[in-house]
Amino acid sequence: MFLTIIGFILILQLLVFVHELGHFLTARRAGLNVEEFGFGLPPRIFGFVKNGVLYSLNWLPLGGFVRMKGEESESGDTDSFSQKPLLSRFIILSAGVFMNFLLAVVCYSIVFMIGFPMNAERLSTEPGNGSITERYLIVSGVLDDGPAKDSELEVGDKIVRLNGAPISTLSNAQAAIAENATITLFVNKRGQEISYVLEPRVIEDVDPDRPILGLGLEEIAVVRYNPFVSVWKGLKESLYIIGRIVVVLGTILRDLVTTRTVTSDVGGPVAIAVFTGRVIDLGISHVLQFIAVISLNFTVINFLPFPALDGGRALFLAIEKFRGKSVSQKIEGMTHQVGFMLLMLLFVLITVRDVARFEIVDWIKSLF
């Protein structure tokens, strides 16, 4: 659990640091007076000043910030945010999400170089310039009424042997399950090999013709590419994931408007922390993919045109462009404050639901 907490904090801080670094570099490039670059959230532990910028380390390791002159209040100085050209301000605001996107591309590129785990079915559509370094099976689902229901098998568990023999292809696994009355699965679960004895049986609603374990199995092939191809694939994978995120986000917003419900797939920091522990157990390739996916979520969500987000601030720049003059700093500031409070309310609601969903309270009680 300690490793999970440390991993969660490091991943979150990496995402925030990269995001704020984008704002910082473009602001300095544009000649802005950057007053503070904060790592973590106040209260401050210590800080030092270099080239007119206060670099601070703060007690709460769950965020970061860049404080620029004239960003929150009126200022007529030429080195303030409010006095810079519209395009410069837009570039500064969008630099954070761009850096999150770039981080995802880098992570995916590294994964493609060291070995990208993909569904074996994708091999037929992938260019033949990669080399397969490994094949294995993972659990992709557990039926509620299947033989595996009462086992501790979970999605993501890696199956290393079946009835004592190495197993790496889906066809071989299906044949063995159909031919044997009892199946012993040897599973790599969080670095430990654990065996499970299961008895296949026919489930009419699923497959009336053959006995099954009630497990979804997925064949994974680990494919490695050269550096140049890896970077190209890293870019394509990042764009593909962004497209998926936009589609899912659209579905969530539609359901929120039509049914006033939010799917249980939506998670906050608690969910991220839980899944951090799971991907750490799976190895560096999965950790890098996890960082990339979270970073791309940051990219999309933070650029939504909602007050307090970078996209909300960019929306006020668009209004300024069409009006020919900026919105009152007081009105814009109040709008962002309201947006921030609504985001905090959503944050609390999602966190409470995640605590219940992942049985965090029961886990805490078990420690004492």
**CA angle, corner 16, sides to 26 and 10, nearest 5?**
140
**pTM for this structure?**
0.85
Q: Please tell me the predicted confidence (pLDDT) of residue 297.
A: 95
3: burial class by Cβ within 10 Å (0-12, 13-18, 19+)? exposed
Instruction: Domain ranges for the chain, please list them.
Output: 2-115+238-366, 121-223
Average pLDDT over residues 247-254: 85
Q: How confident is the model at residue 263 (pLDDT cuts 50, 70, 90)?
A: low
What pLDDT score does 122 carry?
A: 79
User: Cα(first)–Cα(last) distance of the chain, in Å?
Assistant: 15
Question: For the chain, how long is the longest CA-to-CA vector?
Answer: 81
User: How many C-beta atoms lie closer than 10 Å to residue 15's C-beta?
Assistant: 23
Other Cβ atoms within 10 Å of 77 Cβ, number: 11
The C-alpha atoms of residue 26 and residue 202 are separated, in whole angstroms, by: 62
pLDDT category of residue 23 using cuts at 50, 70 and 90 = very high
- Residue partners of 43: CB distance under 8 A and separation at least 6: 58, 59
Please count the other Cβ atoms lying within 10 Å of the Cβ belonging to residue 185. Answer: 26
Kindly report whether the peptide bond that precedes residue 117 is cis, defined as omega within 30 degrees of 0.
no
**Alpha-carbon distance 137 to 156, whole Å?**
9
Mean pLDDT of 283-308: 93
Nearest Cα residue to 305 out of 331, 335, 347, 274 = 335
d(CA 267, CA 290): 14
pLDDT at 148 over 90: no
Question: Is the pLDDT reported for residue 354 higher than 90?
Answer: no
Confidence of residue 264 (pLDDT cuts 50, 70, 90): low
| Per-residue pLDDT at 127 exceeds 60 | no
- Break the chain down into helix, strand, coil percent, rounded to 5: 50, 25, 25
Predicted local distance difference test score (pLDDT) of residue 214: 81
What DSSP letter does each residue of 32-67 carry, written as one string? Answer: --EEEEEEEEEEEEEEEEETTEEEEEEEEEEEEEEE
Task: Kindly list the distances between the CA atom of residue 66 and the CA atoms of 36, 141, 225, 291, 306, in Å, as whole numbers in the listed order.
Answer: 6, 43, 38, 22, 19
Domain covering 121-223: architecture: Roll (2.30)
| Residue range 126-137: mean pLDDT, rounded | 79
Q: Scanning the structure block, which residue is given the tokens 């500031």?
A: 333
- pLDDT digits 0-9 by tens, 193-211: 888 888 888 777 777 777 7
Tokens at 87, concatenated: 């395009």
Statement: residue 101 has pLDDT above 60: yes
92 to each of 23, 32, 161, how far by Cα in Å? 5, 10, 53
Dihedral, 183, 187, 189, 195 alpha carbons, nearest 10 = 50
Question: Which region among 15-19, 277-281, 319-323 has the lowest average model confidence (pLDDT)?
Answer: 277-281
Half-sphere exposure of 161 (CA within 13 A, CB side): 11
